Amino acid sequence: MFSSIRNLFSRPQPVFNDEWRPILVQDFEHWQTLSDEEIGRMEMLVAGFFHSTRWEAANGFQLDDEIKVLISAQASMLLLGIELDNYPQLTSVIVHPSTVRLRGKYNMGGGVQSTEVPPLLGQAHFRGPVVLSWNAALRGAKFPAAGENVVYHEFAHRLDMLDGVTDGTPPLDDEEARLRWARVCTAAYDTVRAQGSEVLRPYAGTNPAEFFAVATEVFFNRPVAVREHEPELYEELRAFYHQDPASRIAI
């Protein structure tokens, strides 16, 4: 009797398809830097993300397994060291072939509104979908040295949103950690706005939420440079993500 009840409630674990491995080895540069233990957890996360996500293609675009697995793996990188196996309240991932064109009013600043919304590479909606450009997602997977990664960027926003506010501070362990995070990030944010940065592109100075998303991109993509130029910021991100990407890079 109990075993039949158990069968009713036990869900099969999503399975990592062996055919995904060569795709990841070839096109996701960061896959090559992971230890065997990390690959084991990543395969579990990738399988979970791949199978549990509602995938949608925009503009008549066709999605295949290569697209889904490369997006799944990049989204999973952010979860590798934290105690979260998926992104709560993610309703779907919508993939556009190149840039994402949205309709509506765009605030140009200074009180001026335009109906011409500039093309985007991605967007993360609060308790909604994440929208991504496949061109940009593939470029981010293959060429991390360029510094940018739209999947890391948008899913960093999702982590920021976990506590209900998109303010550049994801959920942290305690008050001490929150105070330290605020001190370090505010100082780095003010510096980017005032004089730019060796590692953070100017978009990081848009607001604290964009600062965290851009900082996440360079933390994973140019970790040695971030550790050198922004050591305190590197330490905050290392503590949050429980990953030390600079140590994976052979110097």
| Binding footprint of Zn ion on the chain (CB under 5 A) | 210, 213
**Which distant-in-sequence residues (6+ apart) come within 8 Å of 136 by Cβ?**
98, 121, 122, 148, 150
Residue type, 161: M
Nearest residue (CB) to Zn ion, 24 versus 209: 209
Residue 117, classified by CB atoms within 10 Å of its CB into exposed (0-12), middle (13-18) or buried (19+), is middle
Q: Which is nearer to Zn ion, 16 or 189 (CB)?
A: 189
Closest separation in Å from C-beta 154 to Zn ion: 7
Q: How far is the CB of 249 from Zn ion (least distance, A)?
A: 25
Write down the least CB distance from residue 203 to Zn ion, Å: 8
Tokens of 71: 């997006």
Nearer of residues 210 and 230 to Zn ion, judged by Cβ: 210
User: Please, what is the minimum distance in Å from the beta carbon of residue 131 to Zn ion?
Assistant: 11
Q: 124 - beta bridge partners?
A: 130
What is the phi/psi pair of residue 57, to 5°? -105, 135
Closest CA to 144 of 198, 224, 209, 204: 224
In this chain, which residue has its C-beta nearest to Zn ion?
Answer: 213
99-107: long-range pairs with CB below 8 Å, 24+: 99/133, 99/135, 100/58, 100/131, 100/132, 100/133
Of the two residues 210 and 236, which places its CB atom closer to Zn ion in the complex? 210
Q: Which is nearer to Zn ion, 23 or 78 (CB)?
A: 78
What would the DSSP string read from start to end of 163-190? GS--SS----SSHHHHHHHHHHHHHHHH
Which residue, 53 or 123, is less far from Zn ion as judged by CB?
A: 123
CB of 32 to Zn ion, least distance (A): 27
Element housing 6 (H / E): helix 2-9
Q: In angstroms, what is the minimal distance from the CB of 213 to Zn ion? A: 4
Which residues are CB-contacts of 194 (< 8 A; sequence separation ≥ 6)? none
> From the CB of 153, what's the least distance to Zn ion, in Å?
6
Of 43 and 210, CB closest to Zn ion: 210
Provide the 3-class DSSP secondary structure of residue 196: coil
